[in-house]
Amino acid sequence: MNKKIVFIVVLAECILAVLLISFFGQAIVNANNNILCREIYFTYEDGEKIEDDKRLSVVIDDMNNSYKLYYEMLPAKTTNREVRFVSSDPQVLVDDTGMVTFLYRKSVTITVFTEDGSNLSDSIILVPVRP
């Protein structure tokens, strides 16, 4: 009888430990108790993740020479959500909100970097096309 009680208590403790770790152990916390980003990636406007090919055709014409980039940072509770965008070409500009402006119609790689100390980034190739 004692063996059954010991087994049930150990099993309950294991289940409780797994639940606590899964609930509280998800976030990476740095020395200042900030929750760091674990993943950053580009999304479509609707929030769907842009998958592996990381190439996106964007319609650019004489009237509209810009395109807005969207991204997601996980976990949603990341403390510092600031990012920095970098363009691979000085003739294609990108501001701190992800608005890309094409001075010339040419392909470019845009990279978004986290600013929270996690040193994460994601890149995408924008290929301008005529309407």
CATH code where residue 59 lies: 2.60.40.1080
* Entry pTM: 0.75
Say if 102 falls within a structural domain. Answer: yes
What the block records as the tokens of 11 is 């099993």
Conformational region of residue 98, where left means phi above 0, alpha means psi within -120 to 50, and beta covers everything else: left
Count up the domains in the chain and report the number: 1
Bridge partners for 121 per DSSP: 113
Residues 6 or more apart whose Cβ sits within 8 Å of residue 93:
87, 100, 101, 103
Say if 75 falls within a structural domain. Answer: yes
Say if 13 falls within a structural domain. Answer: no
* pLDDT exceeds 90 at position 5: no
| Average pLDDT value for the chain | 86
Say if 30 falls within a structural domain. Answer: no
Say if 93 falls within a structural domain. Answer: yes
Domain containing 73 equals 37-129
Say if 31 falls within a structural domain. Answer: no
* pLDDT exceeds 60 at position 26: no
Report the percentage of the chain scoring pLDDT > 70: 82
Cα–Cα distances in angstroms (integers) from residue 83 to residues 25, 56, 67, 112, 119, in the given order: 24, 20, 18, 7, 11
How many whole angstroms separate alpha carbon 75 and alpha carbon 90?
32
Residues 6 or more apart whose Cβ sits within 8 Å of residue 96:
83, 84, 85
Give the pLDDT confidence of 40-75 residue by residue, as tens digits: 999 999 999 998 688 999 999 888 899 999 999 999
